């Protein structure tokens, strides 16, 4: 047992005598049964059998649907189901997934995402061919809530293979891995601990992938075999608007600094903070377009707290100038309407 960390839950080893499959496909859910059918079907289509693959749904006490009914309908006794006795939140539900996983390789597949055929075969081959890697991930596809293609994640390598050591700098700069695209050895979680409970929503996955990349080689599959669903009305999107999500990302950067090598370039951490600031400014731009000026100004304030680089200040000034222009136009229109009303009353 490794020394416990004050903010990382311990992932105990699987008890002796417990039959261990190679795979644990752990599917955390919360009020997403409408998508769970596609998620579960994508796994069952690649099912390697109960001796090789554990498939478990871990529900965070859903209140708006019945994931157990979906499991019964599609799983037909093949799929395990665990329901939290009360809602514990996303990060703690992820923790339960890791604790319940018995397999040597853990794939945490969110209940509204899915994988394409070949995902488990190619990931398994990577771990077999490169026993030194701690994790493997693939390029992923982004879709909207209706299943429409949005875009693909950036290519990390021209061909599949083990990522170079310099790649750590890239993932510290910005999160480059979506959870459904990555598979991690269980022994890695046992050594490094679970998801940091200082994060409530956002940042916990980025921090985990950086932690793994700082301690183990990682393998990359160029074929896009995982699908990540973007929701326009999701809790994450709402937390982006109110600034909580961006604050969590910034917190992740401060956590990185506690365990990255002392030789790690400080300019990369500054770049990560700038990226957070630009994320806030991008959100401010969208809020301004919708006329939500107070929240837009709050995002600008957040951006300037995170970075005072010339580019950030210039972008913030452009948005503020646009805001002032819109305010003047709105004021002018309101004044013209009042004048027209006054002139009509004189007639």
Predicted confidence (pLDDT) per residue in 31-53, tens digit:
999 999 999 999 999 999 999 99
pLDDT, position 292: 81
Segment among 80-89, 141-150, 197-206, 263-272 with least mean pLDDT: 197-206
Tell me which residue has tokens 């979906």: 70
Residues 6+ apart with CB under 8 A from 19: 51, 102
What's the rounded Cα separation, in Å, for the pair 219 and 127? 8
- Who wins on pLDDT, 340 or 281? 281
Residues 6+ apart with CB under 8 A from 327: 293
What's the rounded Cα separation, in Å, for the pair 227 and 230? 10
pLDDT, position 248: 87
- Who wins on pLDDT, 296 or 239? 296
The stretch 112-129 carries a mean pLDDT of 97
DSSP, res 179: G
Supply 233's token pair: 């009305």
Residues 6+ apart with CB under 8 A from 42: 114, 115, 116
The CB density around residue 215, as the number of other CB atoms within 10 Å, is 13
Q: Is the pLDDT of residue 1 over 60?
A: no
- Share the mean pLDDT of the chain: 89
What's the rounded Cα separation, in Å, for the pair 175 and 189? 19
What's the rounded Cα separation, in Å, for the pair 305 and 276? 10
Q: Is the pLDDT of residue 201 over 90?
A: no
Tell me which architecture the domain covering 23-231 has in CATH. Answer: Alpha-Beta Complex (3.90)
Q: Taking a C-beta distance cutoff of 8 angstroms, is the pair 249, 200 a contact?
A: no
What's the rounded Cα separation, in Å, for the pair 252 and 313? 23
pLDDT, position 233: 54
Supply 1's token pair: 């047992």
> Highest mean pLDDT range out of 222-226, 301-305, 337-341?
222-226
CA gyration radius for the chain? 23
pLDDT digits (tens, 9 = 90+) for 266-297: 999 999 999 988 888 888 888 877 778 788 88
What's the rounded Cα separation, in Å, for the pair 295 and 307? 19
Domain with CATH 3.90.550.10 in the chain: 23-231
pTM for the full predicted model? 0.87
């Amino acid at each position: 047992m490794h020394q416990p960390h004050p903010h990382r839950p311990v992932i105990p080893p699987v008890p002796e005598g417990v039959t261990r499959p190679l795979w644990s496909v752990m599917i955390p859910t919360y009020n997403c049964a409408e998508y769970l059918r596609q998620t579960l079907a994508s796994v069952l289509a690649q099912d390697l059998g109960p001796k090789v693959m554990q498939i478990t749904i871990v529900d965070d006490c859903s209140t708006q649907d019945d994931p157990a009914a979906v499991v019964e309908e599609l799983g037909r006794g093949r799929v395990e189901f665990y329901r939290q006795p009360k809602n514990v939140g996303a990060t703690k539900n992820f923790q339960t997934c890791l604790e319940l996983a018995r397999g040597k390789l853990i794939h945490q597949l969110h209940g509204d995402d899915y994988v394409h055929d070949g995902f488990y075969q190619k990931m398994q081959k990577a771990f077999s061919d490169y026993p030194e890697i701690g994790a493997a991930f693939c390029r992923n596809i982004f879709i909207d809530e209706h299943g429409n293609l949005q875009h693909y994640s950036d290519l990390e390598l021209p061909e599949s293979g083990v990522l170079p050591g310099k790649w750590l700098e890239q993932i510290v700069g910005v999160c480059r891995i979506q959870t459904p695209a990555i598979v991690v050895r269980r022994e890695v979680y046992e050594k490094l601990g679970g998801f940091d409970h200082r994060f409530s929503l956002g940042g916990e996955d980025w921090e985990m992938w950086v932690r793994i990349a700082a301690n183990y080689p990682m393998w990359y599959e160029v074929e896009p075999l995982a699908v990540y669903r973007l929701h326009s009305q999701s809790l994450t999107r709402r937390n982006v608007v109110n600034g909580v999500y961006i604050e969590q990302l910034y917190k992740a950067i401060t956590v990185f600094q506690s365990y990255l090598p002392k030789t790690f370039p400080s300019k990369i951490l500054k770049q990560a903070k700038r990226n957070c600031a630009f994320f806030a400014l991008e959100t401010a731009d969208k809020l301004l377009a919708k006329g939500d000026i107070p929240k837009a100004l709050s995002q600008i304030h957040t951006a300037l707290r995170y970075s005072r680089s010339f580019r950030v200040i210039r972008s913030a000034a452009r948005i503020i100038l646009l805001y002032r222009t819109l305010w003047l136009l709105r004021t002018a229109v309101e004044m013209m309407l009042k004048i027209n009303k006054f002139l009509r009353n004189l007639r």
